[in-house]
C-alpha cells in the first residue's frame, strides 16, 4: 500500500485527479447500488393493503365549508380574459406613441 501511495505521489497533477475521481466514482456507484437494493427490500416489507386502509382523507367539515364560501368562484373564461387584457399591451403602445408625438 505504501509503495502504491509513493507511486501516486510521483504522478503528475492531472493523473492524480483521474485516480481520485475514479475512486470517488466507484465508491459512489457502490453506494447507489446499495441504496437502491435497500429501498426495494423496504418496499417489499410494506403491507400495502394495511397502508391503504390506514389512509384517512379529511372529511369536509363546517370550517372547510366556510373557507370555500370566502373564496370567490372564478371561471376559466374570466381568468383568460384578464390575461388577454393584461398581456395585449396595445393601449400602452398607443399611449407611448401619443406622448412621443406631443
Query: How many domains, in total, are found in the chain?
Result: 2
Does a structural domain hold residue 39?
Answer: yes
The three grid cell numbers given for residue 74, joined into one nine-digit string? 372564478
| pLDDT one-digit tens code per residue, 23-81 | 999 999 999 999 999 998 888 887 777 777 777 766 766 666 666 666 666 666 666 65
Does a structural domain hold residue 54?
Answer: no
pTM for the model stands at 0.43
Does a structural domain hold residue 50?
Answer: no
Residue 34: domain span: 2-44
Are 89 and 96 within 8 A, CB to CB?
no
Does a structural domain hold residue 60?
Answer: no
The three grid cell numbers given for residue 85, joined into one nine-digit string? 387584457
Site of grid cell 416489507: 45
Does a structural domain hold residue 28?
Answer: yes
| pLDDT one-digit tens code per residue, 11-39 | 899 998 999 999 999 999 999 999 999 99
Does a structural domain hold residue 49?
Answer: no
Amino acid at each position: 500500500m505504501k509503495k502504491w501511495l509513493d507511486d501516486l505521489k510521483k504522478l503528475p497533477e492531472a493523473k492524480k485527479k483521474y485516480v481520485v475521481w475514479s475512486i470517488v466514482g466507484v465508491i459512489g456507484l457502490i453506494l447507489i447500488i446499495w441504496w437502491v437494493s435497500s429501498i426495494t427490500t423496504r418496499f417489499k416489507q410494506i403491507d400495502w393493503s394495511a397502508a391503504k386502509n390506514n389512509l384517512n382523507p379529511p372529511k369536509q367539515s363546517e370550517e372547510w365549508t366556510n373557507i370555500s364560501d370566502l373564496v370567490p368562484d372564478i371561471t376559466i373564461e374570466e381568468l383568460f380574459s384578464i390575461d388577454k387584457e393584461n398581456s395585449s399591451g396595445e393601449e400602452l403602445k398607443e399611449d407611448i406613441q401619443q406622448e412621443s408625438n406631443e
